[in-house]
Structure 1
């Protein structure tokens, strides 16, 4: 899923595939190693807390895929791969998901072979979107072709070393002893769920059941409490929380006083409160309270062991980094052809950028007197949430004219 709100990044990808009322039938198969190999390791890229791995499809590639515990069947977001890989699509179905818009169409293919490192799977159940509705490449600053999830995690013990950007995966017997604190999880509908404890000013202590979604770059999203919308704290701000399969997700951003997973406690955690009709009302698993994302998970080096219904956590060097929301109000996206160009996708009403007169579709030419093209997208997003009161000077191009806009970052939550 594409996140449009850059401080909250990607909210979450949740997919319900329906064709005449029946869910897509998944083939019961696993990834495997050829020969006597039982373990492998590869490096990955980490962008906005998301793990991006090289994937080979039908012996072509590599293609950048987001490794996402929040998805079941593999999803190809770039429909151009149908022709370039010679894929045979068996049928079309409707995909309904989070967001306020309508359903979208997708193709189903069952003739896709997939390789990650030296691990293979044949005839991977795959949904191919007819349109790249997420625009992940523009909002992550690197070309993304899809998302890979459940079938990979259920096949192996998977260790994600966020600090070293390295993934080790293999058969359970290849791991003599797994380091870290064991935390039990439940696998339901091909997705992992974990119970965590939170403290809020209004609700006090709560134990909540959350989808463990490393493909969502927020910290935590709180959706439902006792079959009602999760109460939004008084000290929150309205925000665009992202885009789901069915369109934009509106809501609020606030904080929880603390969040505890296993024996680890984090304080002042940013929390999203999506509008009930956009998210909670559409979730099949009604006893879940929310979604635990990668702004939490990336603070650990994590081992996933689906077969044992467990994860193992070791905090890394990012554990104590502060939880900060965007302080500019600017959502930036990359348009890259022969040159790297940055544009304003959206402005938060009442934000510093809005008050400075910056508008959607403005092209950013200079950032603090340095060419915008010299920045990575992550660098820009980190700058815009770097320090309350920091002065930002942007040269923007609009209507064939260049203008200079100056504003100060403001911590709004």
Structure 2
């Protein structure tokens, strides 16, 4: 139970560090082919799942599967987070890496393999550079409420033009010549160390307007993470709250959550955007690329239907029906994870100090039995998270199980940021 408590807050920062190490170290000698279509096919399409604004697609590995993977612009080589696949896929480990990543904590180990073939729809790739975590330290399946086996990024995006229709939950991908005209506003990007970066504008009450450089990271569920400004910690606004921002390769990442007045990407402006401010020593001081200011995540990107064209160093943006939805942080103070074996059970992983749930007496390790008189097992994890940030002042009634006793806790959601 305690282990799951620590893993539930997934942070993309640790995955980014692992990808950098594999790409610049072991994997640089591997000449991986691009994804390709067999025969005369030049374009394909498929539906995807969207959980916490993250794109989840079915991937076949070594002709087995499908396995749920997060499609993620923030990673280079493929990352397999479930080490059980080593045996089930018959993989041969070429070597082991010891990694000291972001966050505070001990080093972890990852295996490197080079005998993985993958298929997405009708697109194939052979001998793909792949890192396999020796231990699933992130607990992605518990965090998202659906079984996750890994992350797929750069090698897919560099092979095709990739259109993500977030509103329709559909992806179209293919060779550039298969797309006559790409709709949307073209915004230039830079590719560095196999990751896409973009210059965006932000406005803060204290510093006014500024242009910053951010990683485009649709595999991070936050809106924007602001890490550094002129080699110093990014200034934290006075109106912010302390928060656990996730867990990196090196352990938990602490910081604050606040708001920026606006965020401008291309010709589009978003207002009242939630911003994460990770502790400098946990993240910014350890990031290899020193001229980046932060990380642009899926809570912003999912408000658009986006086309990624790495060959043209560009993305194309069209705002969708979610563009004007408000940016809301959890209003309960509860972090919940799913433990699923034969039954589906929800537990409290962490309570924010001073939050409504804390004041109501809810504690870490409590099992949630009923939510507003309905069985917790009847909810998806994403539905619970959505409920907990649904409306300021909304009454929540939880029946919780603790120390062989069932108790009822009542509190009102409160917008704390």
Name the TM-score class by shorter chain.
Answer: over 0.9
> Structure 2 CA distance, aligned partners of 1:292 and 1:265?
14
- Kindly indicate whether residue 43 of structure 2 is the aligned counterpart of residue 39 of structure 1: yes
Q: Deviations over 1:8-67 (max 9, x none)?
A: 975543124558x94532434200001110000011000000000000000000000000
- Kindly indicate whether residue 214 of structure 2 is the aligned counterpart of residue 218 of structure 1: no
Matching residue of 2:208? 204
Shift of 1:196: 0.2
Matching residue of 1:313? 317
Q: Is the 8 A contact 1:3 1:139 kept in 2?
A: no
Q: Is the 8 A contact 1:9 1:217 kept in 2?
A: no
Matching residue of 1:134? 138
- DSSP 3-state at the match of 1:321: coil
Matching residue of 1:378? 382
> Structure 2 CA distance, aligned partners of 1:246 and 1:132?
13
Say which of 163, 178, 188 aligns to 1:159.
163
Task: Give the 4+ runs in structure 1 shifted more than 4 A.
Answer: 2-6, 8-12
Say which of 5, 17, 20 aligns to 1:15.
17
Say which of 394, 400, 407 aligns to 1:403.
407
> Structure 2 CA distance, aligned partners of 1:59 and 1:109?
16
Say which of 221, 226, 240 aligns to 1:236.
240
Say which of 36, 40, 56 aligns to 2:60.
56
Shift of 1:368: 0.5
- Kindly indicate whether residue 148 of structure 2 is the aligned counterpart of residue 115 of structure 1: no
- DSSP 3-state at the match of 2:126: strand
Matching residue of 2:304? 300
> Structure 2 CA distance, aligned partners of 1:255 and 1:129?
34
Higher helix share: 2
> Structure 2 CA distance, aligned partners of 1:23 and 1:95?
13
Q: Deviations over 1:260-282 (max 9, x none)?
A: 00000000000000000111011
Matching residue of 1:24? 27
Superposition pairs of residues 222-301 of structure 1, within 5 angstroms: 222-301=226-305
Per the normalisation by structure 2, the TM-score is: 0.96
Count of residues in correspondence between the two structures = 410
**Can you give the 5+ residue segments of structure 2 that lack an aligned partner in the other structure?**
none
**Can you give the 5+ residue segments of structure 1 that lack an aligned partner in the other structure?**
none
> Structure 2 CA distance, aligned partners of 1:162 and 1:37?
24
- Shift of the 198–379 alpha-carbon distance from structure 1 to 2, 3 Å rule, reads same
Superposition pairs of residues 72-83 of structure 1, within 5 angstroms: 72-83=76-87
- Shift of the 5–200 alpha-carbon distance from structure 1 to 2, 3 Å rule, reads farther
Q: Is the 8 A contact 1:4 1:331 kept in 2?
A: no
Q: Is the 8 A contact 2:107 2:250 kept in 1?
A: yes
- Kindly indicate whether residue 104 of structure 2 is the aligned counterpart of residue 106 of structure 1: no
**Greater CA deviation, 99-108 or 140-149?**
99-108
Q: Is the 8 A contact 2:7 2:137 kept in 1?
A: no
Matching residue of 1:170? 174
Q: Is the 8 A contact 2:367 2:401 kept in 1?
A: yes
> Structure 1 CA distance, aligned partners of 2:235 and 2:159?
38
**Greater CA deviation, 245-254 or 313-322?**
245-254
Shift of 1:100: 1.4
- DSSP 3-state at the match of 2:220: coil
Per the normalisation by structure 1, the TM-score is: 0.97
Q: Deviations over 1:152-210 (max 9, x none)?
A: 00000000000010000000000000000000000000100000000000111010000
Q: Is the 8 A contact 1:9 1:48 kept in 2?
A: no
| RMSD, aligned CA | 1.6
- Shift of the 4–377 alpha-carbon distance from structure 1 to 2, 3 Å rule, reads farther
